[in-house]
Structure 1
Amino acid sequence: MQSFLGTGVALVTPFKKDFSVDTEALTRIVNFVIEGGVEYLVVLGTTAETATLTNDEKELVIATIAAANNGRVPMVLGVGGNNTAKVVEELKTRNFAGFSAILSVSPYYNKPTQEGIYQHFKAVAEASPIPVIIYNVPGRTASNMLPNTVLRLAKDFKNIIGIKEAAGDIVQAMKIIQDKPEDFLVISGDDMITLPMVLAGGAGVISVIGEGFPKEFSEMVRLGLNKKVKEAYHLHYKLADSIDMIFEQGNPAGIKEVFKHLGLSENTVRLPLVNVDENLSERLANFIKNLG
């Protein structure tokens, strides 16, 4: 469990201008975030534009990140979907060498009941050969995994080790923290309320802004975990405007624009996503310049 205290980053998939996967840029980004101090990497999450990758491209992304990481920090693999049987089949057949856990999103589009969500993750937990971090993100799934469902899963399945909680609701997160098993991890999935969640007893974050500014954001989380509140909030407010900006016109278009200004990759995204507009690009460039 100690592997997932602190900052994990949901890695992007950088594309060249011809929309092919840019493995050189991906290697640069992996080195950038690890050297910036993040504690672990999340591979093929939402931020990776996984929905638009072919199976061959997914394998290329995994291989590129694993080679660049070279065992330096733990890795978590995104394995989720809204067809439970298909997710279970992947869990039973995939090679998880090099990965410490999976991140599995609550089923989207189908809009299951709380019992349906529980039964889905029961099947996932029973099929997964490695620990499971469940993922609640109502803004993308059209259903909210309620605290009672999370706590039921946490207590019933030892290999469900934590939740990435991205409802954007600090009260909901606190309800889980209040009643969770001692070693169950409540991980923020919302960059803006990461610090309050950590101070309330959360384990850290799986972050988007943390890959753009890994040094500052991962230090903020460590300060929060060590209850150095004033110092942590100093960094939070230093980064707060950038958090709003990178999500203003969609993820990962915002963070890819940051990477373009940092010289790490192109800002290319695949449809149905589009690039941020010129105004937001200029504001992000100014933020980076002023951050120093």
Structure 2
Amino acid sequence: MEQLKGTGVALVTPFKADESIDWNALEKLINYVIDGGVNYVVSLGTTGETPTLSADEKLDLIKFTFEKVSKRVPVVIGVGDYNTRDVVKRLEQCPLDEAAAVLSVAPYYSKPTQEGIYQHYKTIAAASPKPIILYNVPGRTGRNMTAETTLRLAHEVENIIAMKEASGDMMQCMQIIRDKPKDFLVISGDDGLALAQLACGMDGVISVAANYFAADFSSMVHAALVNDYPAARILNNKMLEGFDLMFSENNPAGIKAFLHHAGIVENSFRLPVMPVTDGLYGKINAYLNNY
């Protein structure tokens, strides 16, 4: 459990101009975030543009990430879908021996009931060879996983060990933190709210922004976890405009613009994701030139 506290980073998937995976850029990014002090990395999250990746590409990304991380930090693998059977099948097929845990997004598009969400997670937790991190992101899935459903899973399903909460609902977050089992982790999925959520008792962040702000974001989270909020606020305030720019049009278009500015990845995507507009890119460059 301790290894999943602090800063996790949801890695982007770099593409070349021809839309093939840029393996050299991914290796550069992995080294950059680890050198910056992140506690663990997450492969095949939403930020990795997983809906546009083939099954073979996902397997190759898992193997490549394990190889290049080389056990320097833990690796969490994203395995989620709206088809429960398909998630179970992928959990059986994915090379997860070196994974610390599996991050699984709540079923999207289908908009199931809370009971449907509960049964989905109960089923995949029983099939998973690794602990499950719940992921609630209603802005993308179309359905909020309530505090009641989260707590029911946390208390009743042994192989579910944590929640990545990205609902943006602070009352819901505080209810989960208050009533969760003692050894259940609650992890922020909102970079802009992370400091406030850490102050409420969250155990860390799975961050998009840490792809670029690896050192400052990790330092901010660490400061908050040891109750050094003056230091944490200074770092958070320094990054605050960056968070706003990063998410104002699209994720991962925003973070890739930041990483392109840093010379780490090309500003390339697979449709339907497009690069940020020229106007936003100019604002990002102006901000980073003065950062």
Instruction: Please say whether Structure 1 and Structure 2 have the same fold, judged by a TM-score greater than 0.5.
Output: yes
- 1:95-114 alignment runs, 5 A limit: 95-114=95-114
Deviation at 1:90, TM superposition (A): 1.5
**1:241 counterpart letter in structure 2:** E
- Which residue of structure 1 aligns with residue 33 of structure 2? 33
Asked if 1 retains the 8 angstrom alpha-carbon contact of 2:62 and 2:95, the reply is no
Residues 146-202 of structure 1: CA deviation (Å, up to 9, x unaligned): 001000000011210000000011111111000000111110000011111111110
Deviation at 1:60, TM superposition (A): 2.2
- Which residue of structure 2 aligns with residue 215 of structure 1? 215
- Which residue of structure 2 aligns with residue 94 of structure 1? 94
**2:139 counterpart letter in structure 1:** G
The residue matched to 1:164 in structure 2 has which SS? strand
Residues 27-74 of structure 1: CA deviation (Å, up to 9, x unaligned): 000000000000000000100000001122112222222221111000
The residue matched to 2:272 in structure 1 has which SS? coil
**2:66 counterpart letter in structure 1:** A
Asked if 2 retains the 8 angstrom alpha-carbon contact of 1:26 and 1:64, the reply is no
Mark the runs of 5 or more structure 1 residues left unpaired by the alignment: none
- 1:1-292 alignment runs, 5 A limit: 1-291=1-291
Distance between the aligned counterparts of 1:92 and 1:71, measured in 2? 22
Distance between the aligned counterparts of 2:115 and 2:84, measured in 1? 14
Distance between the aligned counterparts of 1:107 and 1:265, measured in 2? 30
**2:219 counterpart letter in structure 1:** E
**1:55 counterpart letter in structure 2:** A
**1:56 counterpart letter in structure 2:** D
Deviation at 1:94, TM superposition (A): 2.5
**2:135 counterpart letter in structure 1:** Y
Distance between the aligned counterparts of 1:175 and 1:254, measured in 2? 31
Name the TM-score, length of structure 1 as normaliser: 0.98
Asked if 2 retains the 8 angstrom alpha-carbon contact of 1:162 and 1:186, the reply is yes
Asked if 1 retains the 8 angstrom alpha-carbon contact of 2:211 and 2:259, the reply is no
Deviation at 1:93, TM superposition (A): 2.9
Which contiguous aligned blocks of 4+ residues in structure 1 show a shift greater than 3 angstroms? Answer: none
**2:19 counterpart letter in structure 1:** F
Deviation at 1:288, TM superposition (A): 1.6
Deviation at 1:113, TM superposition (A): 0.5
Residues 109-161 of structure 1: CA deviation (Å, up to 9, x unaligned): 10100000000000011111111000000001110000010000000112100
Distance between the aligned counterparts of 1:169 and 1:195, measured in 2? 14
Matched-pair identity in %: 50
The residue matched to 1:12 in structure 2 has which SS? coil
Deviation at 1:95, TM superposition (A): 2.3
Mark the runs of 5 or more structure 2 residues left unpaired by the alignment: none
**2:154 counterpart letter in structure 1:** A
Distance between the aligned counterparts of 2:114 and 2:134, measured in 1? 14
Structure 1 range deviating more: 280-289 or 2-11: 280-289
The residue matched to 1:218 in structure 2 has which SS? helix
Distance between the aligned counterparts of 1:55 and 1:95, measured in 2? 12
Distance between the aligned counterparts of 1:221 and 1:81, measured in 2? 30
Alignment root-mean-square deviation, CA: 0.8
**1:283 counterpart letter in structure 2:** K
Asked if 1 retains the 8 angstrom alpha-carbon contact of 2:59 and 2:94, the reply is no
Aligned residues: 291
The residue matched to 1:150 in structure 2 has which SS? helix
Distance between the aligned counterparts of 1:41 and 1:238, measured in 2? 23
